[in-house]
Amino acid sequence: MDNERVILAIGRLERALSRIETATSADKPDIDPALAARHEALKAEMKQAIQTIDGLIERQEN
């Protein structure tokens, strides 16, 4: 059950990140540089969070 909640949470995070990616795509030249920087920071934090979650799941399975 706990793994299911984690999987659902990851799915929500991925969908949110996808929406952000779409909103800040390269075909929109008027993107605020501060927003672009925040977006890159969010992507880095998301990557770290997913790696942490992945490590927790792996430890739970072993």
Whole-number pLDDT of residue 24: 65
Whole-number pLDDT of residue 59: 85
Whole-number pLDDT of residue 27: 62
Q: Would you list the domain boundaries of the chain? A: 2-61
Residue 51 scores a pLDDT above 80: yes
22 phi/psi in degrees, rounded to 5? -65, -40
Whole-number pLDDT of residue 19: 81
Whole-number pLDDT of residue 28: 62
Tell me: the pLDDT tens digits for 3-35? Answer: 788 788 888 888 887 887 777 665 666 777 888
C-alpha closest to that of 43 among 16, 6, 61, 4: 16
